[in-house]
Structure 1
Amino acid sequence: MAINSLKDSERTALNAAQTPDPEKFVPLADHTLALNRIKTFEADETKRLDCKIEDAVSKAIEDGKVAPASRDYHLAACRADGGLERFQAAMNMLNALVMMALGSFRFGVSKPEHKKLSRSTVYRWKAMERIGRAPALQFLGEGGDEITLEGTIYPQFKGGLKQVDGMRSMAGTGVPMMLVDGGGAVWKRWCITSVDDTKTYLFADGTPRRIDFSIHLAAYGGDVLW
């Protein structure tokens, strides 16, 4: 009896091995197919994520929120776990990089970019004539203060052809404007006294590929407007 029982158990085990319970086991071919599909999905998802990262960083550079030289750093940071979400949140909180702001006008990477700032300040001294002696100078205080911003615009890259016209429109209002640099320092109020531009590398229709400009400012003085 014991031998027959063992044989019956063996046959049962063999039958179970040949026709396993479908709720507990799957065919090897189906398992392999499922794994391949998962790997393909993961690879496609990685590509989609990488495209999103590239687009996000490129957009931030175009908007002037990220310096082009730091592109590789931000790409690597975005590829870390949760990196893209952190990057997007940071970009939403950032204003575009601004080198200088004059009233509502901005100079920066994605806007008219000034490459040179020159400042000239005059201090007034009055010569007092003296008999038998050289004239003596008496200090009367600060004189005029002037700034010249020189830069280049590539209209096809950002901002179009009307940026210098915008400067002239601002100058035509006759209103002194607050000048603030990218570090947050306030330079008080300044007046636009002249705007010059030179257009070069023209297309066949006369449209310039490059516009070099200079804007001349004079300090308004210590009087408060409002």
Structure 2
Amino acid sequence: MSGPTAMALGPYAFEAIGFGYDGLSRKVQTPWAEVKVAQTLDQLQWVGPTSEEVSIKGVLFPAQHGGQSSLDGIIAAANAGQVLMLVSGDATLGTIHGRFTIQSVDEDKSYFTAYGEARRNSYTITLKRYGQNDSGGGSTGGILSPILNLFG
């Protein structure tokens, strides 16, 4: 490792130097359905969360600081359809964000050496939450879990 780990996607650690990131965005969708009601305004009914997307943006300088092998590993995991755990922080104050699928990896390489190696590689990794039950094990209730949670 080149420095402190700020975040990790599965076995791929985002570090202060090397494979780092400079931006993180999150989009959570929780739609409401309109229910027609006679002689009054339509009522809204919450239908629950439908998706969560996270985008990680960063810039690599492979010739000076490395990091390209980690990005290549994430691309390989995406091509293999692997579900990876996203965590941030350290062992004391860390946050487990859950399991995510890799939806896309965009690269923008520039400033090439005489040998064709990019000196700068800007990237965006787009993730989507794998599912509501991120515990990894079986859950009691299955499809009835939201109803059972009302009584728990």
- C-alpha contact (below 8 Å) 1:114/1:149 kept by paired residues: yes
Structure 1 residue matching 2:76: 3-state secondary structure: helix
Please report how far the alpha carbon of residue 160 of structure 1 lies from its aligned counterpart in structure 2 after TM superposition. Answer: 5.5
| Bigger radius of gyration | 1
- C-alpha contact (below 8 Å) 1:154/1:210 kept by paired residues: yes
CA deviations over 1:144-181 (Å, ceiling 9, x no partner):
11100000111012335433321111112222211110
Paired residue for 1:197? 107
Paired residue for 1:141? 48
- C-alpha contact (below 8 Å) 2:75/2:105 kept by paired residues: yes
Which letter maps to 1:103?
G
Paired residue for 1:188? 98
2:16 is the counterpart of 1:109: yes
Partner Cα separation in structure 1 for residue 31 and residue 100 of structure 2:
20
Structure 1 residue matching 2:63: 3-state secondary structure: coil
1:218 pairs with 119, 128, 142, which one? 128
Which letter maps to 1:63?
S
- C-alpha contact (below 8 Å) 1:200/1:208 kept by paired residues: yes
- C-alpha contact (below 8 Å) 2:19/2:67 kept by paired residues: no
Q: How many residues align?
A: 133
Alignment of structure 1 residues 28-47 onto 2, 5 Å: none
Structure 1 length normalisation: TM-score? 0.55
Structure 2 length normalisation: TM-score? 0.79
Please provide the CA RMSD for this pair. 1.7
Unaligned runs of 5+ in 2: 138-152
Unaligned runs of 5+ in 1: 1-61, 65-96
Paired residue for 2:117? 207
Paired residue for 2:2? 63
